[in-house]
Amino acid sequence: MWNAESLSRDQIREFLKSSQTIEFAGVGRGEKYVWVERVLGVQGYAGLGKKERGVVRGYVEKVTGMSAAQTTRLIRRFLDEGMVKAAPYRRHCFQARYTAEDIGLLAEVDRAHERLSGPATRRIFQRAYEQYGKQQYERLAKISVAHLYNLRASARYRNQAAVFEPTRPAAIAIGERRRPEPQGRPGYVRVDTVHQGDWDGAKGVYHINAVDAVTQWQVVGCASKISEAYLLPVLQAVLAQFPFVVLGFHVDNGSGTSIIEWRK
């Protein structure tokens, strides 16, 4: 609306009467405040009577789309200061109790002790302050466990406590050490190897003894050396002589109690 602030009170009354079903809204807070200040100044709001002030107030509310409470605040500001301007935004910030130095101490302790639990870490701070008199741990000695975890989640802590470790190879077990449990079923074969011994400097042979754990069906083979090239054909021949399907293959590793089991 051009020159809307310069309308007379009669024109304002006519405008309010004819625009009851129409809603207005300002573009931005800054523009609305400037327009309100011009309207109040041109209309001489400070010198108006109660009835005339109500007309101007209704006009401001209608054009800007502001609530009655907002309009009252702006008018009071205009009457007190002679102008209408937005108050600077002040974000409320709580005072930080734990400083960057405290977070650095927490990161240092976590690196030294490989990041213990919250209660254990707090106990370290308490001992350092109460028993050893280290004043730098005074605030951390009184920290709650919950807030200790909050400090650990902060960006400052992560930047100081980051630890880079090389990738550790994962061990993949190819066998499982446990006692065989055939549960009355044939097919679990126990294999033992016995060296015959040397004679006059000549290397003796190795006897391969395979026995079923349930039926006690026994097959004996012989190999000149313990290596894949010599053992593979002997084991194939030994296992082929069992009259049932071999379900488990057990090898005594020499301890007398530990057994390695492979299953099909």
Calculate mean pLDDT across residues 89-104: 80
Closest CA relative to residue 58, chosen from 33, 48, 67? 67
At residue 56, φ and ψ (nearest 5 deg) are -65, -40
Task: Report the share of the chain in percent with pLDDT over 70.
Answer: 83
Is the per-residue pLDDT at 255 higher than 60?
A: no
Q: Model's pTM, two decimal places?
A: 0.34
Summary mean pLDDT of the chain: 81
Is the per-residue pLDDT at 148 higher than 70?
A: yes
Residues 6+ apart with CB under 8 A from 86: 29, 30, 33
Is the per-residue pLDDT at 264 higher than 60?
A: no
**Range from 54-68, 186-200, 228-242 carrying the lowest mean pLDDT:** 186-200
Computed from CA positions of residues 239, 244, 248, 254, in that sequence, does the dihedral angle turn out positive or negative?
Answer: negative
Is the per-residue pLDDT at 205 higher than 80?
A: yes
Is the per-residue pLDDT at 1 higher than 60?
A: no
* DSSP designation for 4: G
Confidence of residue 143 (pLDDT cuts 50, 70, 90): very high
At 13-29, the pLDDT tens digits run 888 777 777 766 666 77
Q: Domain coordinates of the chain in residue numbers?
A: 4-81, 100-161, 182-263
Task: Report the share of the chain in percent with pLDDT over 90.
Answer: 18
Is the per-residue pLDDT at 3 higher than 80?
A: no
Residue 3 falls in which region: left (phi positive, over 0), alpha (psi -120 to 50) or beta: left
At residue 192, φ and ψ (nearest 5 deg) are -125, 150
Do 85 and 38 meet the contact criterion of CB atoms below 8 Å apart?
no
Is the per-residue pLDDT at 260 higher than 60?
A: no
